[in-house]
Amino acid sequence: MKKSIDILGLPIISINEGSELGTAKGLVIDPAQGAVAAIVVEDGRWYLGAKLLPFAAVAGIGENALTIESSSHIIPIDNAPDLETLLEADVKVIGAKVLTKSGRFKGKITEIEMDEAGRIVNCEISNADTNDSIAGEMVITYGKGVVIISDSETATVVKPPVASPIPAKPPAVTVPEETVEPVEVNAATQPSQPDKTSEPAAAHTPAARPATESNDDLAKKFDDKQRKYLLGKKATRKIETDNGVMIVEQNGEITEEVIQKAKLAGKFVELSMSI
Report all structural domains of the chain as residue ranges with CATH numbers, in order of start.
2-89 (2.30.30.240), 97-149 (2.30.30.240), 220-272 (no CATH)
Confidence tier at 102 by pLDDT (50, 70, 90)? very high
pTM: predicted TM-score of the whole model, two decimal places: 0.58
| Residues 249 and 238: beta-carbon distance below 8 Å | yes
pLDDT over 90, % of the chain = 47
129-162 pLDDT, tens per residue? 788 999 999 999 999 999 999 987 544 443 334 4
- Looking at 91-105, 138-152, 200-214, which range is the least confident one? 200-214
171-194 pLDDT, tens per residue? 554 545 544 455 444 444 444 454
Confidence tier at 216 by pLDDT (50, 70, 90)? low
Beta-strand ranges (E) seen in the chain are 2-3, 11-14, 19-30, 35-42, 51-54, 58-61, 66-68, 75-76, 97-100, 105-114, 120-127, 130-135, 139-142, 146-149, 239-240, 246-248
Whether the pLDDT of residue 97 is over 70: the answer is yes
Among residues 112, 79, 88, the alpha carbon closest in space to that of 7 is found at: 112
Please name the residues in contact with 26: beta carbons below 8 A apart, sequence gap of 6 or more. Answer: 8, 39, 40
Whether the pLDDT of residue 35 is over 70: the answer is yes
